[in-house]
Chain A
Amino acid sequence: MLLGRVIGTLVPAVLVDELSATPLLWVQPLDREGQSEGDPLVCADGTRMAGPGQLIYWVASREAALALDPWFVPVDDAIVGLVDEVRLYPPEDSR
């Protein structure tokens, strides 16, 4: 799973039946410090509670298909959960 931030929504005119009830959101992938990394992608929202500005974590491929309800639908990427906080430990010291 990787971090991402929801930057928008996508409203399809026509969509396969399996996905018709699932929100589609634009997500900007982030590195672990929260900086943008790579190109935005469209994620199906398995939580159905994410919206623009929300920090989330997402999965790709088969795992994305498993994250949704209905289950096993044709998607590349899906949101698994909303992030309340990312706790980064202080950098490695003399340990």
Chain B
Amino acid sequence: MILGRITGSVVSTIHHSIVEGRKLLVAERLDQNGRPTGAYVIAFDAIGAGQGETVLILDEGNGARQILDDADAPVRSIVVGIVDAVELETS
């Protein structure tokens, strides 16, 4: 899973049937220190994440299909958690 921050959303009316009624979020990827890596992903929302929130994103197709309970869903990324804090061991 990867760390991300919700920076936007995508509005789409013509799409695969799996997208129907679901929210598409734009999330920038973060490193372990919470800094943007420059990469982003468009992810489904499983938990009601909102603007600016730091989230945990499942970025793997088979797990995503399990969450959607649809073995044929063409989906790889789903927001599965909202992160309160990341604590790193200082070396």
Where the two chains meet, the residues of A that have a C-beta atom closer than 8 Å to any C-beta of B are 1-3, 31-32, 46-47, 49, 57, 59, 61-67, 71, 78, 80-89, 92, 95
Contacts and interface: CB of A to CB of B under 8 A. Distances in A.
Contacts, number: 87
A62 B61 contact: yes
A3 B11 CA distance: 12
Interface string B15-47: 110010000101010000000000011110000
Chain A interface, >50% SS class: mixed
Given A49-B14, A59-B75, A89-B8, 7 more contacts: A1-B75, A46-B16, A63-B75, A63-B76, A84-B12, A86-B10, A87-B11
Given A3-B42, A49-B14, A92-B52, A78 B7 contact: no
Contacts of B24: 1, 57
A66 B16 CA distance: 10
**What bracket does the count of chain B residues touching chain A fall in?**
20 to 34
Contact of B19 (A32, A80, A89): A80
Of B7, B15, B52, chain A has the most CB atoms within 10 Å of the CB of: B15
10 contacts: A2-B42, A32-B28, A63-B76, A64-B74, A65-B74, A66-B74, A81-B15, A84-B13, A86-B9, A86-B26
A1 B14 CA distance: 15
Nearest to A84: B11
Given A59-B76, A80-B19, A31 B40 contact: yes
B10 A88 contact: no
